[in-house]
Amino acid sequence: MLDEAERLARDLGSPFTLATLLNMQATVALAADDDTAALDRYAEAAALAAEVGTTWTLVYTLPGLAVVAARRGLPELAAELFAAGSATAEAGSVAVSFPPDLAVAGAALSAVRTELGEEAFRRAWERGRGLRPDDVPRLAGAISDRSAPA
């Protein structure tokens, strides 16, 4: 069903609609532990958001990218992405409210904070709060450059 919705969204030519759908597909992929598929969809959603200057979809994209970064052994990048997601949500008065996204992001955020320690986490968080929407595709690429764990 989501594949058909993706086809229709692409046919419609609406970047917002497509980015929203890609975020939904990525959530399903994360739940199935398919980080590669999730990353592909989140990266495309980030590129679409940057292209048209929308931040609403990034509120979902950024924590998802952070989860993948954490799973791939990139805790500093994960903390930056979580912080960027938080700042984007605050600026747009939008909150992630989809329970599966909240659960996986909450667990990953806690693990990242523990892995980095408070001081390193705070520094990464501060860097992340300064990220701009057009920085996100580059950061998604940095995750892509990192091989998935065996």
The pLDDT-based confidence of 100 (bands split at 50, 70, 90) is low
Query: Is 136 in contact with 58 (CB distance < 8 Å)?
Result: yes
* pTM (two decimals): 0.88
pLDDT of 7 reads: 79
Give the Cα separation of 93 and 18 in Å (integer). 21
For residue 121, which of 132, 110, 131 has the smallest C-alpha distance? Answer: 110
Query: Is 133 in contact with 53 (CB distance < 8 Å)?
Result: yes
Give the Cα separation of 13 and 106 in Å (integer). 33
Average pLDDT over every residue of 10-26: 90
Give the Cα separation of 106 and 125 in Å (integer). 15
Q: Which of 4-13, 42-51, 91-100 has the lowest mean pLDDT?
A: 91-100
Q: Is the pLDDT of residue 1 over 90?
A: no
CA angle 53/51/125 to nearest 5° reads: 65
For residue 70, which of 57, 58, 85, 55 has the smallest C-alpha distance? Answer: 85
pLDDT of 146 reads: 65
Helix (H) or strand (E) holding 79: helix 75-92
